[in-house]
Every structure is written in structure tokens, then in C-alpha cells.
Amino acid sequence: MTELSSGPTGVRERTGATAAVWRGPGSGFTVESQPMPRLAAGEVLVRVELATLCGSDLHTIAGDRPTPLPTVLGHEAVGVVEAVGGTPVASDGRPVVPGQRITWTIGTSCGRCRRCRRGVPQKCESVRKYGHEAMTDRWRLNGGLATHCHLVAGTGFVTVPDSLPSSVAAPANCATATVACAARRAGLAPGDTVVVTGCGMLGLTAVSYARDLGAEHVIACDVDPARRDLALRFGATVACPPGALEEAAKDLGADVVLELSGNSGAVESALRVVGLDGCVALVGSVSPGPDVTFAPDAVVRNLTRVVGSHNYTVEDLAEAVAFLVRTPHRNLFADLVPEPYALRDIDAAVAAARSGAAPRIAVHMN
Ligand SMILES: [Zn+2]
Ligand SMILES: [Zn+2]
């Protein structure tokens, strides 16, 4: 059920916010007025321009991924700063100020715990993630599917130039930054041959980003011929179905394999096709799946490295935005996001996203 709550006058209060509140698979969304937060030091109130629905939102909505309730889903978003508490600082060291267009990290980090100190702030012991936390009196606007989002201290802020269309910028803080982090962890270098398995939003981004970093060959692998065609437009030098991947990798090598599909067969294949001294980055397997088998002797003798990569750091997010600004594929990225739905039509937006009609479905907040 979707309804728009209104104030005593029947008119939505201009001073309030509106959020699509999720109360679980049995209850769905209600679009409701919410009070504006009082900002503490280091906090930012952002007016959301556009949010895009990511696969993990759909997992939550389907009931596959438990989440505390009620909550405001959505974490891929871009917006304009409306107010700040104290003097929050962006990734470039400059203060965050009202009127500035920003994106923000999916999670907070304390900067002090053991995990933060060893360089994995995305796994901070006290991480709080947008779109994945229960609404509380103190923190109600904690997801992207709302007119406003309350960004708490410990969030990383990255400036987004006005020239970048919101449809291109919104996926930066999940899809693009996740790809940038995985490529960094895999050590992707100029001249590499890169294999990308799974050509949805992350895969197409990975194809384009690998070429941007100077990969000589990018082999894009997907079961869907339409996605393979898209991958070629994003710069893949070869696009093949899973059955042809081994042959393609034999011809061109495979220095880095970015496994983005989460399919267990694709994981096994990634470990089989990776070349000598190559790296397999596992990114797509974000929820439990069937066990996979691999030949340990091949891993040893081929000097294979395997890295897992989940979420990203604020530096990866800054790199993601910089990539989206410099890529020659900006229009192609914009084409992945059809005309946005209004927040009040959240149920239709979710239905479109679930149908797989496009790599990303967007929601605007006007
Ligand atoms: Zn920490
Ligand atoms: Zn996401």
C-alpha cells in the first residue's frame, strides 16, 4: 500500500520531509511525512535529488535479507546539502557547505577501531549503513528513498560536480565505488587482460572502468546476449557466454578476473580461467550460496591470488565520482537508467526494478 500522509491543513508541510517507509515484506511501503532532524556536530542534512534501486534493496524487499524495521531503504543517491551541524569535511579536505552537491559513503566509520586503523573502514566495528538500519527518534531519515537524508558523523562525503547528470551520479556510492574498490584490491594495472563475469550494472561499470585504467583486453561474460552487446559498447574487446569463456581466456590471458554475478558456477569458472600470477576478485557473492569446488594445486602452481571485496572506502568513492566525470561513456551510463519514478510511485518503481527492465530504476523526490 502506498499513501501520502498530509498535515492538518491537507497540504504537505514544506518544512517536513517525506520518506518511503518500509515495514517488511508483508506490509510494504508507506509514503509518510517525517520531522526534520536536529543536526549534531559533523552531521549533514541533504535534499535527495535522485535515488536508484540496487540489487540489495530488492533482496531486502523480497524478504531474502533481514533488516531492522521500520526503515528507509535506498543507499544509492545523490543530493544537495541543505544544512550542516558543526563543520563536516569532505574527502578533499574542504568543509561541506549548504548548496553543495554531494554523494556519501554507504556506511559510517569511527576511524579509531582496529578495522578502521588497518585500512578497511567499510568494516568498522560500529558501522551504520544507510538503507539498512531501523528508524529511531534520533535518526529517522536514514535511507535514500526520501526527500531528505540525515547523514551522521563518520560518513564520508564526496563533492559531485553540477555537470554530472543525477542518473549517472546516483549509482556512484554503491555500484561504481564497489567496482573501484574491487579493481584496487585486485591490483588491476595498465596492459592487463581483465575478465568480467556478470554484466549487470556492476559488470558494465567494471568493463568501462577496466578500460579507463588501461586494460588492454576486457573479456565480458554473461548468459544474456543483450547484456553482452551492451558490454561491447562499454569497451569490452570480447563478449562471450559462459561456455566460451575458457577459450577466450586461453587466447588472451586473464590477469584479473572480477566476478560480479555471485553465481557459484561463475566463481568456479573464475578460479579456472585466471592466468599465471593472476588475481580473482570475488564481489558478487554477497549472500550464502552453494559451495564451490576448485583445484588447490592449480591455485598453488599458478600463483593465484583470491581477494574478496565488499563495499569500499571514501577514497574509492572519490575515485568513482572522478571516473564518472572523465569517462567517455557518460551517455551510455545515463541510458542504463530510464525516466525516474516519483517517490509516491515507489511500488511501481520496485516492480519495474524486479522485472529487470533496466540495470537501474531511479526514483526522484520532487
Ligand atoms: Zn571503526
Ligand atoms: Zn547497493
Expressed in angstroms and rounded, the spacing between residue 59 Cα and the centre of ligand 2 is 10
Give me the CATH code for the 178-308 domain, please.
Answer: 3.40.50.720
What's the CA gap between 351 and 21, in Å, rounded? 16
Expressed in angstroms and rounded, the spacing between residue 49 Cα and the centre of ligand 1 is 29
| 231 pLDDT more than 80 | yes
> What mean pLDDT is predicted for residues 336-365?
97
Predicted pLDDT at 64 = 87
All cell numbers assigned to 6: 498530509
> What mean pLDDT is predicted for residues 161-182?
98
Predicted pLDDT at 317 = 98
Q: Which residue has the cell 568493463?
A: 207
Expressed in angstroms and rounded, the spacing between residue 334 Cα and the centre of ligand 2 is 18
> What mean pLDDT is predicted for residues 168-180?
98
User: E-assigned strands of 59-176?
Assistant: 71-72, 76-84, 101-104, 148-151, 157-159
Nearest ligand to the CA of 117 is 1
Expressed in angstroms and rounded, the spacing between residue 54 Cα and the centre of ligand 2 is 5
All cell numbers assigned to 134: 531501523
Q: Decide whether 17-173+336-364 matches 178-308 in CATH topology.
A: no
Q: How many CB atoms lie within 10 A of CB 33?
A: 15
Would you mind telling me the total number of residues written for the chain in this entry?
366
Question: In the sheet where 256-259 sits, what is the strand order?
Answer: 238-240, 217-221, 193-197, 256-259, 279-282, 305-308
Q: How many CB atoms lie within 10 A of CB 271?
A: 20
Expressed in angstroms and rounded, the spacing between residue 76 Cα and the centre of ligand 2 is 6
The Cα angle at residue 305 between residues 301 and 311, in degrees rounded to 5 = 165
Cis peptide before 98 (omega within 30 of 0): no
Nearest ligand to the CA of 51 is 2
By the 10 Å C-beta count (0-12 exposed, 13-18 middle, 19+ buried), 302 is classed as middle
Question: What distance lies between CA 176 and its chain's CA centroid?
Answer: 6
What's the CA gap between 117 and 59, in Å, rounded? 31
* pLDDT level of residue 11 (50, 70, 90 thresholds): very low
Expressed in angstroms and rounded, the spacing between residue 115 Cα and the centre of ligand 1 is 6
| 7 pLDDT more than 60 | no
Each domain of the chain, given as residue ranges in start order, spans 17-173+336-364, 178-308
Three-state SS at 184: helix
Predicted pLDDT at 66 = 86
At the top level of CATH, the class of 17-173+336-364 is alpha beta
Nearest ligand to the CA of 128 is 1
Expressed in angstroms and rounded, the spacing between residue 311 Cα and the centre of ligand 1 is 15
Predicted pLDDT at 4 = 39
Expressed in angstroms and rounded, the spacing between residue 116 Cα and the centre of ligand 1 is 4
Nearest ligand to the CA of 122 is 1
Instruction: List, as one string, the DSSP characters of 298-366.
Output: HHHHTT-EEEE--S--HHHHHHHHHHHHH-TTHHHHHHTS-SPEEGGGHHHHHHHHHHTSSS-EEEE--
Q: What is the pLDDT of residues 201-215, one digit of tens each?
A: 999 999 999 999 999
Contact 73, 353 (CB under 8 A): no
All cell numbers assigned to 192: 592487463
Expressed in angstroms and rounded, the spacing between residue 128 Cα and the centre of ligand 1 is 10
What's the CA gap between 346 and 249, in Å, rounded? 42
Expressed in angstroms and rounded, the spacing between residue 305 Cα and the centre of ligand 1 is 27
pTM: 0.95
What's the CA gap between 272 and 266, in Å, rounded? 10
Q: Which residue has the cell 508507506?
A: 30
* pLDDT level of residue 65 (50, 70, 90 thresholds): confident
Nearest ligand to the CA of 57 is 2
Helix, strand, coil share of the chain (percent; to 5): 30, 20, 45
Nearest ligand to the CA of 109 is 1
What's the CA gap between 131 and 299, in Å, rounded? 38
Nearest ligand to the CA of 130 is 2
* pLDDT level of residue 6 (50, 70, 90 thresholds): very low
Expressed in angstroms and rounded, the spacing between residue 114 Cα and the centre of ligand 1 is 7
What's the CA gap between 63 and 144, in Å, rounded? 19
Three-state SS at 89: strand
Nearest ligand to the CA of 110 is 1
| 221 pLDDT more than 50 | yes
Expressed in angstroms and rounded, the spacing between residue 127 Cα and the centre of ligand 1 is 7
Q: What is the 3-state secondary structure (H, E, C) of 120-141?
A: CHHHCCCCCECCCCCCCCCCCC
Expressed in angstroms and rounded, the spacing between residue 277 Cα and the centre of ligand 2 is 31
What's the CA gap between 47 and 44, in Å, rounded? 10
Expressed in angstroms and rounded, the spacing between residue 265 Cα and the centre of ligand 2 is 23
| 83 pLDDT more than 70 | yes
Q: How many CB atoms lie within 10 A of CB 136?
A: 9
> What mean pLDDT is predicted for residues 85-113?
98
What's the CA gap between 238 and 248, in Å, rounded? 8
Expressed in angstroms and rounded, the spacing between residue 152 Cα and the centre of ligand 1 is 14
Nearest ligand to the CA of 125 is 1
Nearest ligand to the CA of 111 is 1
Expressed in angstroms and rounded, the spacing between residue 124 Cα and the centre of ligand 1 is 4
